Structure 1
Amino acid sequence: MPNERLRAVMVSGGWTHAALASAVDVDPKSVERWVNLGRTPRRPTALKAAETLGEDVHALWPQLRQAKAARAVSPELVVLYDQRADLPVSVFVDLLSQARQQIDVLVYAAVFLHEAYPRLNELLRGKAEAGCVVRIAVGDADSVNVQQRGREERFGHGIESRCRLALMHYGPLAGVPGIELRTHGTALYSSLYRADDQVLVNAHVWGVNAYRAPVWHLRRTGTGGMFDTYAESFDAVWETARPVEG
């Protein structure tokens, strides 16, 4: 059913679908669905739209009250995405670009980053030159766990070849001051993309390719929380990983 409250606010404020869409950086068709079909936008978008309209977000979308209560379980949770495919690569790039002290990347391959953003190595070099410590761990294509993951995902030798491709992508960074590249053979439960006190966690689900699995964005709010759990996990894997010489 239509969102009459949102429609009234937009009419009284002289907002067209296109104007609101431009202000909150979404497609005008999305705004049309909010108004005419009563769809609820993702929480960050809803907050931005409410702020733009000068309204309380829960008055426009009461459904978000339940989401707010769920977020209170972990104050470190910024947003939860149904699957990695929902995220534009700019989300990863923007996160890494914000780092001032530390960047950690733990993956099997994640070649989608270099494929969609060929200047990734340039970004990482720049961060290292500015004093940021960069640690990158990619999967060892010859490890038993990587090969098993390929069978579980029915990906055949694809995951192994992508691990080798990832190593080729990151290879030029080996030996660059401030950057360390390693390979690991762990049974990876989550891929991690950390920038200082924020991290994107791409869960791994048995039999499902990583791009179809959920991603949660965490921001550290104190010690001993979810963020620290994943940071400690990275450190544990890092200790087992083998350095790649430049």
Structure 2
Amino acid sequence: MLCKTTGSCRVEECAPGQDLRRTVVLQRWEEGDELEVVERGCTHPEKTNRTMSYRTGTQIITLTEAVCGSDLCNQPSPGQVSTFPRSRYLECASCASSDLSCERGWDKTLQCRNPGEQCLDVVTHQSLEGEPQPSPGDERHSRGCGNLPGCPGPTGFHNNHTFHFLRCCNTTKCNGGPGLGNPSYTIRGCATPSWCQGLPVAEAFSLTHLNVSCCTGNGCNHPALVTQPHTGGAPLPGPAHLSLFVTLLMTARLWGDTFLCT
């Protein structure tokens, strides 16, 4: 079932490689007023259920994505009325860069609405192509509740000109307070040979103490297989797309906003 945000729905065959059906719900709650936007469609088989909620100004924003595997399993139920969850579970600190509350240290309390949710601390650090150095405005923060892939953290991943970092914890307001001092992050994925030299990565994102290791072969950067990786220097010979194993020892610029749908 394919449904756009306008509310119109139609039955559509999923494209090859998109074996799951998904339902994405955006809810905004503000002083008793509720707004909900729903979109339905197909997605790739690696997708899992995920949620995220955070405060910005006087609003609470909740993002939910649910996936299923059978035909038309994501079609809306007749007469179904969705309401903002009223249950209360783990208590977390919450803020967002959209109102600069994270940057100003104005954390508020947010009660998680679903069992199994954890406290989240997320950053998106973006470097636009052609810019010599990232500016503070290129970093987006959010703290709140959720259940995202990669939890428990910390973990991170790279997408084009963006680094995403995620930390999860499951005790009261464990995501509050100042950011971590000098944590180490491991990021695994694919890379071109130039990225294996490490210097373009360090310059693009103002990173320090960067350790880049590359290898060739399917799954060669799996944690269970990485024992004594090739470190730094020139890239290994092989195809243009190499597996990348990066350890980032960050001295600053951590945690921020993220996208629920990837």
Larger RCO: 1 or 2 (CA < 8 Å, sep 6+):
1
Q: TM-score when scaled to structure 2?
A: 0.28
Q: TM-score when scaled to structure 1?
A: 0.30
More helix by share: 1
More strand by share: 2
